[in-house]
């Protein structure tokens, strides 16, 4: 056999031996079942979607923390007498532009016990427009001062600060509840500083010294007690033109409450006696109030007191603390 063929046979034999004699290869392990593989992966969130934050009762207070709260009070007109009354175009413009409380009720009749109730949460047994009676109980001004804020009532046509007479011209003591509270009346400094004629308002505006809480009573003609509602409407328009610009310029939260002491009927609601002080139109004018909004929640003068207290973190006085006394919360933006 030639050398070439000998070499070729040797190579072929070696290959056959390697193939036949080698140990059989171990089979490759099977891939584990897909079901046994568990890898937690976060769900991707699109970059354009912000996480949702749920508001809690502590993150958003139920009532705004107003820097100024002002009450303007008129006399003796039922809801249906003034709402949509063409003799009161300005009043109704405000009612349509801001928030109108459509189920707001006075506490009783006549005037004085309603005024007392607005400041203290009770009538304290006063049932008529007395001028020699007194109230020796805490009132909203006491709480306001204790909370570090200021207050003042501006009484139109009152002859002088802390005037204690029953009346003078078109001023009537029965529409000035502050003078009935002995802790105020018997403190000469408080009385002279904070129970003042309405003419003081212009000076306080000019001085940039508006108090946190203001209570304005027009005289017996301008509050619709002795004169027609068109006169009250004209007075209101002039007054709002005076007070709103400085409040707006401050750029701070504020609330103006335009209301009536009592209605002409005995309608009642929300824990009041069956025969109460009638249904009255109350408007909330504020940058923080919803525009063109009507709130049909049953409220009373006690609700207004409760709401002021809630705004400033003050204790609830007397019936303001009652469960039936609703807090005014729906109107706020």
Residue spans per domain, the chain: 75-321
Report d(CA 154, CA 216) in Å as an integer: 5
Mean pLDDT, rounded, for 40-47: 32
Instruction: Please write the tens of the pLDDT for every residue from 216-233.
Output: 999 999 999 999 999 999
pLDDT score, position 61 = 81
Stated pTM of the model: 0.82
Provide, rounded to the nearest whole percent, the portion of the chain with pLDDT above 70: 82
Superfamily of domain 75-321 in the CATH hierarchy: Alkaline Phosphatase, subunit A (3.40.720.10)
The pLDDT of residue 33 is above 90: no
Report d(CA 41, CA 54) in Å as an integer: 25
pLDDT score, position 21 = 35
The pLDDT of residue 163 is above 70: yes
* Weakest-pLDDT range from 40-44, 79-83, 310-314: 40-44
The pLDDT of residue 52 is above 80: no
pLDDT score, position 60 = 67
User: Which stretches of 50-181 are DSSP H helices?
Assistant: 79-82, 89-97, 111-120, 140-146
- Taking each continuous run of H as one helix and of E as one strand, the counts in the chain are 10, 11
List C-alpha distances in Å: 163 to 61, 132, 179, 218, 222.
Answer: 39, 13, 8, 16, 20
Q: What is the DSSP letter of 44?
A: P
Mean pLDDT, rounded, for 263-268: 96
Instruction: Please write the tens of the pLDDT for every residue from 62-115.
Output: 999 999 999 999 999 999 999 999 999 999 999 999 999 999 999 999 999 999
The pLDDT of residue 170 is above 50: yes
* Confidence label for 11 from pLDDT (cuts 50, 70 and 90): very low
The pLDDT of residue 50 is above 80: no
The pLDDT of residue 169 is above 50: yes
The pLDDT of residue 297 is above 90: yes
């Amino acid at each position: 056999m030639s050398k070439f063929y000998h070499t070729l046979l040797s190579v072929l034999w070696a290959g056959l031996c390697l193939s036949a004699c080698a140990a059989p290869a171990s089979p490759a392990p099977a891939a584990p079942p897909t079901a046994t593989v568990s890898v937690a992966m976060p769900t991707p969130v699109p970059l354009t979607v912000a996480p949702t934050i749920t508001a809690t009762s502590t993150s958003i207070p139920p009532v705004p923390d107003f820097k100024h709260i002002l009450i303007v009070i008129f006399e003796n007109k039922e809801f249906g007498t003034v709402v949509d009354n063409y003799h009161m175009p300005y009043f109704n413009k405000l009612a349509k532009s801001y928030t109108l409380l459509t189920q707001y009720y006075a506490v009783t009749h006549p005037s004085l016990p309603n005024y007392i109730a607005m400041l203290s949460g009770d009538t304290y047994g006063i049932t008529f427009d007395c001028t020699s009676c007194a109230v020796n109980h805490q009132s909203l001004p006491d709480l306001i001062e204790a909370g570090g804020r200021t207050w003042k009532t501006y009484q139109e046509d009152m002859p002088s600060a802390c005037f204690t007479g029953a009346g003078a011209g078109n001023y009537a003591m029965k529409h000035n509840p502050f003078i009935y509270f002995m802790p105020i009346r018997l403190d000469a400094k408080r009385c002279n500083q904070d129970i003042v004629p309405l003419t003081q308002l212009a000076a306080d505006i000019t001085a940039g010294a508006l108090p946190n809480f203001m209570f304005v009573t027009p005289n017996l003609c301008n509050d619709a007690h002795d004169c027609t509602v068109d006169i009250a409407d004209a007075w209101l328009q002039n007054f709002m033109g005076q007070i709103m610009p400085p409040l707006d310029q401050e750029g701070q939260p504020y609330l103006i409450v335009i209301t009536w002491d009592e209605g002409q009927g005995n309608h009642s609601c929300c824990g009041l006696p069956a025969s109460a002080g009638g249904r009255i139109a109350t408007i909330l004018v504020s940058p923080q109030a919803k525009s063109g909004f009507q709130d049909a929640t049953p409220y009373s003068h006690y609700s207004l007191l409760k709401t002021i207290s809630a705004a400033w973190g003050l204790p609830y006085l007397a019936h303001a603390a009652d469960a039936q006394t609703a807090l005014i919360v729906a109107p706020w933006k």
